[in-house]
Amino acid sequence: MSENSQSVSFYDRPNVEKSIIPVAGGVALGMEGIYNSKLGIGGVYGSWGESYSNLRLPSFVEHRLGKPLDTNDILNLSELGFDFRQHIPDLNDAQHLELELEVGARLLRKALETLHWDASEVAGVLIGMSGPVSDDYVIRIAKMAGIPDTALKVSVHKACDGSMGALHLTLNPHLSQPGQVNIAEQLRGKKVLVGGIEGLSRFTCNAMDRNALQLFGNGMGVIGVIPGETMKFLVGKSFENYDTEGLLAVRMYYPHSHPDLSAKSLVDVVQENSDHIRIAGLMNEPKDGASIEMAGLMGMVKLFVRTGVQVVEDVYKEYHALMDKLGQSGHSIKMGIVHHANFKINTLKAKHLSKLGIEFPMPWLLSDFGNVSAASNMIAFLRKLQEIQPGDHILFDGFGAGTYYDVMAVSMG
């Protein structure tokens, strides 16, 4: 694990394309496109809203809470790996919808431009979102971006694991259950957009949890891949370990059947129509109807580290077994792209993995975003994309409230 701290706001990075979305007097939007011609992989990441430094953030949180913060309530955010994050002003429901539809559509259009793809060529759009602004969000932004109605749209709601759940579904044909569409088989060899779009400033606007209001911010990232060609699945594991204690309780703003906890899986897979599939994970929700409630930072450590280490260990062992089988025992993981929950959690995971003899770079890359949930893995990947060479093996590590894990090793290019 290494920390690459950003000393400036995301908007002040040299390659960020800035614009204003004409909602509520104007909301800032920034996007950066990345393309690796050797791999044939590229994408776009960004954020929207006003950028708040750690110094300015307490006043914003106090506005949201409607009361002053106690000194003891102010987190040492730089120690947790975050120096900035982006927030929107107070908006009504119609403005939230208009804003996030425009954000998503601009992201997809910019990704197509960066990839040199025509919208008509896209066969699938898979987006992870913790709390979608509308049930048909992915359908609507795809249409706004000019993507054909016949393209498969998949909405993945597994909290911070959403984009990794989407990527795993795109690449791993073994995830499909009997009677379900095999997404990976359907999309193999075709042009696919995969990512995470998280309007967490909206999501937390009515929260009273002081930690959540300081940690989370807006972020988005989408990549374009051709499964089986530009990115090849090697091994992976999707795992559920339900958070019965509600250590990180999250309100479900999406349809879910609420099965008994004894059910084989707590993830609903529903074919909404011929071109839209909804993947919805059951959450332990706040009892007072709030959007999010955290049992302190140590609760997050307890929630994610122990099981997270086990899932990574399982995939790592399976990876090396595959390399041995293929006669490529000398091959190793070049780097891990890990969800940026906070720097201490990721550092502790790396420490526990090291004790098991599992070591590979796990760079910290999102100091200028805050915790942006399902968008974080995609942003981190794009920030490292130019360093990746054809044939490199990358491990993606996603984990989120609920609790859900998607870990996979892939071969690039």
Instruction: Render each residue's pLDDT in the chain as its tens digit; 413 residues.
Output: 544 445 799 999 999 999 999 999 999 999 999 999 999 999 999 999 999 999 999 999 999 999 999 999 999 999 999 999 999 999 999 999 999 999 999 999 999 999 999 999 999 999 999 999 999 999 999 999 999 999 999 999 999 999 999 999 999 999 998 889 999 999 999 999 999 999 999 999 989 999 999 999 999 999 999 999 999 999 999 999 999 999 999 999 999 999 888 888 999 999 999 899 999 999 999 998 999 999 988 888 889 999 999 999 999 999 999 999 999 998 999 999 999 999 999 999 999 999 999 999 999 999 999 999 999 999 999 999 999 999 999 999 999 999 999 999 999 99
Say what the pLDDT of residue 201 is: 98
Say what the pLDDT of residue 297 is: 85
DSSP 371: B
Tokens, residue 87: 């927030």
In contact, 191 and 253? CB cutoff 8 Å: no
DSSP 177: P
| Collapsed DSSP state (helix, strand, coil) of residue 36 | strand
Homologous superfamily (CATH) of 2-412 is Thiolase/Chalcone synthase (3.40.47.10)
CA dihedral 128, 129, 132, 134 (to 10 degrees): -10
Tokens, residue 251: 């309100």
CB contact set of 330 (below 8 Å; sequence gap of 6+):
323
In contact, 379 and 94? CB cutoff 8 Å: no
- Domain ranges, ordered by start, for the chain: 2-412
Beta strand 122-128 with 191-198 is parallel
Which amino acid belongs to residue 385? L
What is the C-alpha separation between 250 and 93, in angstroms, rounded? 20
Which amino acid belongs to residue 264? K
Runs of H (alpha helix) within 159-295: 162-171, 183-187, 200-203, 210-215
Beta strand 2-3 with 276-281 is unpaired
Say what the pLDDT of residue 298 is: 87
Look up the pTM and report it: 0.97
Among 91, 101, 335, residue whose Cα is nearest residue 206:
91
In contact, 168 and 382? CB cutoff 8 Å: no
Strand partners, 128: 156, 196
Say what the pLDDT of residue 296 is: 85
Place of tokens 């140590």: 298
In contact, 41 and 221? CB cutoff 8 Å: no
| Collapsed DSSP state (helix, strand, coil) of residue 340 | coil
Per the document, the length of the chain is: 413
